[in-house]
Amino acid sequence: MALRGVRVLELAGLAPAPLCGQILADFGAQVVRVDRFRRAALHADVQGRGKRSLALDLKQPRGAETLARLCQKADVLLEPFRPGVMENLNLGPDVLLKNNPRLIYARLTGFGNSGAYSKMAGHDINYLAVSGVLSRLGRKDENPYAPVNLLADFAGGGVMCALGIIIALYERTKSGKGQVIDASMVEGAAYLSSFLWKSQNLGLWNRPRGENLLDSGAPFYETYKTSDGKFMAVGPLEPQFYKQLISGLGLDSHKLPDQYDFSGWPEMKKRFTDLFSKKTQAEWCEIFEYTDACVTPVLSFDDVVSHPHNKERGTFLKNDQEEISPRPSPLLSRTPATPSSKRDPFIGEHTEEILLDYGFSKEEIAQLKSLRVIESNKPKANL
């Protein structure tokens, strides 16, 4: 796999950092999740695929010393804490990069490691708000709304941080030096919205929220409910594709307003809503599948795995616990990701073997265990 041999230490955190670590693990990196001894169910890592777990108490001086020693043999440290936390533990970049100049020190935070908001608490919706993106999301005459926590947490946070790590690893092949990555979810989400910024002079966003081409204003870029309570996604932006939509709906284009006549959009949306409500999702699929009308079913989690296209591509996979999740993406031709099929690790499941791998002796491990600096929780075998 592409990242085989890369050693990553991921300090356990909430959703964005675990996704970043999972991406690296899926593509071959040896990812060690450094866990607290016990974590609340809300904070459980459900993105532990391919990782091993080391339970370590960083609040103890010996715990911080242990992490510093691990970092001497690591390629990447991924930490998700607020600014100042690592420095207070004497584990800041100045200390760890002095001991290992090749270390990639990735800091994944909501507001970044500097700035007026840097030490404030927040979540995806807050980061999305400060990025400016949230102001663009929502329907006409409704409040802005966040599309679950995908944009800032995962796209702007976890994925952008993984990209930064890969870039830094590549640069290291030329300089031989590590560096610090300041991955802010606010800035990651803002960067994702570059098209929105760069397209403002094209007239795509000069109407109020929910009345533009791509924000639910256009009748041909919308979702419609079917007679069986399911939905179809409609998106033929180009005139030649729009003609196929109109044909499939049984309408005469000569009797309709021009596709890009804003004044006709509200009435056309009503007509489309009425038409789609008269057939089931399956019936609409039969009409529009394998056409260029840009009309597709809105698939639920229950339906998406069995959809013919996804089955043919192998888009989803099962682990040994029969849990379904998406296959890693993108698909590389020579060195594709080969995700682990094993269940996610228990906290502290691999503590001793990880420390041995990183050069700790059995005597040192026993001492750390007796001082409750580390914890080992190997699962009991089923007899």
Annotated catalytic residues are 123, 153
* Helix (H) / strand (E) containing 363: helix 362-370
Among 120, 130, 128, 158, residue whose Cα is nearest residue 13? 158
Sheet containing strand 231-234, edge to edge, reads 222-225, 231-234, 295-297
Cβ proximity of 150 and 19 under 8 Å: no
Cβ proximity of 136 and 204 under 8 Å: no
Under 8 Å CB-to-CB from 345, ≥6 apart: which residues?
33, 48, 51, 52, 53
Please, where are the H alpha helices in 176-264? Answer: 185-192, 194-198, 239-248
Measure CA 291 to chain center.
31
The half-sphere exposure of 338 on its side-chain side, counting CA atoms within 13 A, is 9
